């Protein structure tokens, strides 16, 4: 009797497991599915959704989004192994030092040229045209503070710097090249520097806990908390222009993808990206709906082909 | 208060998505433990029979346990690629110790007199194992599976980093939003619930199997 109970339970468990095998979620996807990778930030997820919507609209391929990948290196590994066909958002600065292991370059065009060439040569991947926004580190203050002291550029802060507190990303402070050491050499030192999680700096500036913060330029919270982004007048921060990266194999199979990337080229400004991020991060909208809404609003960029050569 | 409202809003908007991730999360944990059980239970039986091996095998199991799951996943990812397979393999490794150890203990605890009685009545070694030892040890083995599965549900939550999805993905989305507490809860509460439900359910099975201790030897 007991024997039967335990055999029965075991059989049921096994059956559930076997039934699970054929589930779309866990089973390996079919070969005509294009796998698009995205990272943890809302930005990359929104853009992955945009690409997915456009690809499904233009081709007969299915898409599958692999989201929340830990870092650009994880994305890069995934591309090299063929687990991903496209990564939605890669930044020139990140991959210059990450995937390519080179020194930071401050000229945006030179940086773009290098990643385009090196990805083609080394990895047989195409670095797509930029979306038009970047996600660099930027120095930000409250609008109020900027108005009061007439500050537009980072250099304008110099006379006050000794009395100012500076809230920065944990990982930035010890970074070589474009970290705080380099910043002090190029600009000046602040009175006190507080490393913290990047998600906290915006609120810290808005509530007055910090006078100056180092923010991500495309973050929606810049808009939410009414922060002013200061111009990097000595060109210290390397560019982090965003582009999709596609393997050449999938481009050959679906040439339409090149066309889709061209149509999205220079269509999303940093301000627009801030707004899209705001919808996802602050209004808690689903990335898919954010992407859908944006594309519908712009008629899927169908007219863009004419404008951009 | 605001968090509660946001939580309700988010859950009502994304109930399908949360359910999908819940199922996916559970399956990954279950697969990992099941595949691990396929070789960990025989391994436990083996080391119970050949005592010299036991300290080695259990030591290796313990060493695996000390490696942080995120690190292990990152290394396995290089070989296995992105997605659920990496998570399942990681989980298999982490399940070795609880399952093997419990099988070992369960087998060791079987009353030697009963085994001898079985042997004396002409049972082969395999019959002894199948009809005497395993039924007596099964509830302890189940306890091992239960521990492994509850630990596993926690480990799978990290799997979102390697593109496996699951409830961990919802938690990560929440950490990224400004007022993400509600979203974090929408991922964390189902994870905790799953662990509790699994624990209670496996505990129930364990209890069901226990009386065999009194019945079985008489029947055998």
Contact B176 A84 (CB under 8 A): no
Beta carbons within 8 Å of A149's beta carbon, 6+ residues apart: A156, A160
What is the rounded average pLDDT for all residues in chain A? 85
Instruction: Give me the residues paired with residue A245 across strands.
Output: A87, A127
Whether A265 contacts A308, CB under 8 Å = yes
Residue B86 near residue A83 (C-beta atoms within 8 A): no
**What does the alpha-carbon distance between residue B88 and residue B14 come to, in Å, rounded to a whole number?**
26
Strands A62-69 and A242-247: unpaired
- Kind and range of the H or E run holding A38: strand A33-39
- Locate the chain B residue with the closest alpha carbon to A71: B161
Write down the ipTM of this complex.
0.76
CB B98 within 8 A of CB B146: no
Q: What is the CATH number of the domain that holds B130?
A: 1.10.3720.10
Largest CA-CA distance found in chain B, in angstroms, rounded: 71
Separation in Å, CA of A238 to nearest CA in chain B:
24
Domain containing B82 equals: 2-219
Question: Are the CB atoms for A282 and B178 separated by under 8 Å?
Answer: yes
Of A2, A81, A284, Cβ closest to residue B177: A284
- Whole-number Cα distances in Å, A165 to A178, A194, A215, A251, B212: 20, 7, 14, 49, 69
Q: Do the domains A33-134+241-307 and A137-229 sit in the same CATH topology, yes or no?
A: yes
* Token duo for residue B2: 């605001």
Please report how many Cα atoms fall inside a 13 Å half-sphere around the Cα of residue A138, on the Cβ side.
23
Residue A130 pLDDT > 50, yes or no? Answer: yes
Lowest mean pLDDT among A56-65, A217-226, B144-153, B206-215: B206-215
Residue to test with chain B: of A70, A71, A79, A199, most B Cβ within 10 A: A70
Mutate which of B3, B72, B92, B178 to disrupt the A interface (most A C-beta within 10 Å)? B178
Q: Which two tokens stand for residue B104?
A: 């070992």
Contact B174, B187 (CB under 8 A): yes
pLDDT of residue A23: 41
Q: What is the pTM of this model?
A: 0.80
Residues of B in contact with A221 (CB under 8 A): 178
For the domain bounded by A33-134+241-307, which CATH number is listed?
A: 3.40.190.10
Confidence label for B1 from pLDDT (cuts 50, 70 and 90): low
B41: pLDDT strictly greater than 90: yes
For residues B89-115, give the mean pLDDT: 92
Q: Domain extents for chain A?
A: 33-134+241-307, 137-229
CB pairs under 8 A between A and B: 117
Is A238 in contact with A96 (CB distance < 8 Å)?
Answer: yes
Q: Tens digits of per-residue pLDDT, B112-126?
A: 899 999 999 999 988
Q: How far is A20 from chain B (nearest CA, A)?
A: 7
Q: Which residue of B has its CA nearest to A66?
A: B163
CB A85 within 8 A of CB A35: yes
Which has the higher per-residue pLDDT, B34 or B215? B34
Rounded to whole angstroms, how far apart are CA atoms B88 and B85?
A: 5
Percent of chain B at pLDDT > 70 equals 95
Pairing of strands A212-216, A165-169: parallel
Could you count the other beta carbons within 10 Å of the beta carbon of residue B111?
Answer: 12
* Nearest-angstrom CA–CA distance, B95 and A67: 26
- Chain A interface, best mutation among B24, B80, B145, B163, by max A CB count within 10 A: B163
Give residue A12's pLDDT band: very low, low, confident or very high (50, 70, 90): low
Cα distance from A164 to chain B (closest Cα, Å)? 25
Q: CB-based contacts of A32: which residues, under 8 Å, 6+ apart?
A: A60, A61, A62
Give the rounded distance of the alpha carbon of A198 from its chain centre: 14
Cβ within 8 Å, pair A26-B212: no
Q: Torsion-angle region of residue A31: left (phi > 0), alpha (psi -120 to 50) or beta? A: alpha
pLDDT recorded at residue A213: 93
Sign of the CA dihedral B16, B22, B23, B25? positive
What is the topology classification, in CATH, of domain A137-229? Answer: D-Maltodextrin-Binding Protein; domain 2 (3.40.190)
**A140: how many CB neighbours lie within 10 A of its CB?**
27
- Within 243-282 of A, beta carbons closer than 8 Å to B belong to 280-282
Percentage of chain A exceeding pLDDT 70: 88
Cβ atoms A230, A83 nearer than 8 A: no
A2 closest CB neighbour out of B30, B173, B209: B209
Answer yes or no: are the C-beta atoms of A211 and A145 closer than 8 Å. Answer: yes
Confidence tier at A70 by pLDDT (50, 70, 90): confident
Contacting residues of B for A48, CB less than 8 Å apart: none
Look at residues A267, A241, A217, A261 and name the one whose alpha carbon lies nearest to residue A111: A241
The total of structural domains in chain B comes to: 1
């Amino acid at each position: 009797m007991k024997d039967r109970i335990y055999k029965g339970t075991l059989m049921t468990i096994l059956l559930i497991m076997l039934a699970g095998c054929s589930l779309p979620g866990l089973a390996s996807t079919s070969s005509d599915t294009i796998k698009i990778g995205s990272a943890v930030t809302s930005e990359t997820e929104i853009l992955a959704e945009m690409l997915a919507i456009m690809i499904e609209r233009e081709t007969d391929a299915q898409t599958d989004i692999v989201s929340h990948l830990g870092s650009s290196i994880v994305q890069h590994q995934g591309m090299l192994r063929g687990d991903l066909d496209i990564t939605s958002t890669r930044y020139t600065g990140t991959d210059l030092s990450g995937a390519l292991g080179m020194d930071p370059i401050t000229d945006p065009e030179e940086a773009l040229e290098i990643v385009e060439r090196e990805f083609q040569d080394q990895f047989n991947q195409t670095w797509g045209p930029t979306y038009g926004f970047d996600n660099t580190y930027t120095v930000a203050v409250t609008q109020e503070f900027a108005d009061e002291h007439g500050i537009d550029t980072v250099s304008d802060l110099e006379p006050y710097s000794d009395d100012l507190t500076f809230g920065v990303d944990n990982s930035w402070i010890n970074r070589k090249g474009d970290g705080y050491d380099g910043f002090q050499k190029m600009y000046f030192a602040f009175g006190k520097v507080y490393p913290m999680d990047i998600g906290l700096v915006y609120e810290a500036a808005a509530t007055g806990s910090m006078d100056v913060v180092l923010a991500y330029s495309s973050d929606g919270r810049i808009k939410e908390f009414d922060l002013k982004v200061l111009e990097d007048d000595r060109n210290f921060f390397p560019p982090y222009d965003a582009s999709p990266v596609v393997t050449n194999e999938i481009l050959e199979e679906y040439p339409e993808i090149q066309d889709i990337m061209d149509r999205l080229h220079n269509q999303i400004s940093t301000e627009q990206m801030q707004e899209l991020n705001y919808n996802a991060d602050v209004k808690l909208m689903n990335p898919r709906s954010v992407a859908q809404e944006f594309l519908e609003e712009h008629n899927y960029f169908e007219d863009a082909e004419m404008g951009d050569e | 208060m605001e968090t509660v409202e946001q939580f309700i809003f988010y859950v009502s908007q994304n109930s399908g998505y949360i359910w999908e991730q819940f199922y996916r999360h559970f399956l990954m944990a279950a697969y990992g433990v099941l595949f691990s059980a396929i070789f960990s239970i025989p391994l436990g039986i083996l080391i119970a029979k050949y005592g010299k091996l036991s300290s080695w095998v259990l030591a290796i199991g313990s060493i695996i346990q000390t490696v942080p799951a995120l690190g292990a996943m990152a290394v396995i990812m290089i070989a296995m690629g992105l997605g659920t397979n990496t998570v399942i393999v990681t989980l298999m490794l982490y399940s070795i110790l609880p399952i093997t150890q419990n099988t070992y203990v369960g087998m060791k605890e079987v009353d030697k007199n009963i085994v001898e009685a079985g042997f004396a009545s002409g049972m082969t070694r395999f019959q002894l194992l199948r009809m005497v030892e395993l039924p007596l040890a099964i509830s302890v083995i189940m306890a091992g599976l239960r521990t492994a599965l509850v630990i596993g549900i926690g480990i799978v939550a990290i799997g979102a980093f390697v593109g496996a999805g699951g409830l961990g993905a919802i938690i990560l989305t929440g950490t990224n939003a400004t007022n993400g507490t509600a979203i974090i809860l929408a991922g964390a509460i189902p994870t905790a619930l799953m662990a509790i439900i699994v624990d209670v359910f496996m505990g129930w099975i364990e209890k069901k199997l226990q009386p065999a201790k009194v019945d079985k030897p008489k029947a055998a």
